[in-house]
Amino acid sequence: MNFPDFNRSILKEISTPEWEKRNLTVLVKRDDLIHDEISGNKWRKLVYNIEQAQLKRNDTILTFGGAFSNHLVATACAAKLNGLKAIGIVRGEELTAESNATLQRCKDYGMELVFVSRELYHLRNDRQWWEELHLDYPNSLIIPEGGANFYGVLGCQEIWKELPKDTDRIFVAQGTTTTSCGILLGAPKSCFIHAVPVLKGFDAEAEMKQLLYSYFLDEELLTEFFSKLKIEQDYHFGGYGKYTPELLNYITEKYRQFGLKLDPVYTGKAFSAMEDLIQKLDLRNEKIIFIHTGGIQGSKGIEEKEGIELYE
Ligand X SMILES: Cc1ncc(COP(=O)(O)O)c(C=O)c1O
Residue with smallest beta-carbon separation from ligand X: 295
Instruction: Specify which residues 141 forms β-bridges with.
Output: 61
CA–CA gap between residue 158 and residue 141 (Å, rounded):
22
In whole angstroms, the minimum distance from the beta carbon of 15 to ligand X comes to: 24
CB-nearer residue toward ligand X: 19 or 68: 68
Q: Give CA 2 to chain center in angstroms.
A: 21
Shortest approach of ligand X to residue 179 CB, angstroms?
3
Q: Tell me how far, at minimum, the Cβ of 102 lies from ligand X, in Å.
A: 11
State how beta strands 11-14 and 25-29 pair. antiparallel
Cβ atoms within 10 A of the Cβ of 150, count? Answer: 17
Measured from the CB atom, the residue of 138 and 259 that comes closer to ligand X is: 259
Minimum distance from residue 147 beta carbon to ligand X (Å): 7
C-beta of 58 vs 180, nearer to ligand X: 180
* Interface ranges with ligand X (CB under 6 A): 40-41, 70-71, 146, 173-180, 266-267, 293-295
Q: How far is the CB of 83 from ligand X (least distance, A)?
A: 24
Least spacing, CB of residue 176 vs ligand X, in Å: 3
Of residues 25 and 70, the one with the C-beta less far from ligand X: 70
**In the complex with ligand X, which residue's Cβ is closer, 97 or 270?**
270
Measure Cα distances from 70 to 102, 135, 242, 257, 265 in Å. 8, 27, 16, 26, 11
Q: How far is the CB of 204 from ligand X (least distance, A)?
A: 9
Which C-beta is closer to ligand X: that of 63 or that of 179?
179
Residue closer to ligand X, measured from CB, 116 or 173: 173
Please report how close the Cβ of residue 132 comes to ligand X at its closest, in angstroms.
25
Of 27 and 184, CB closest to ligand X = 184
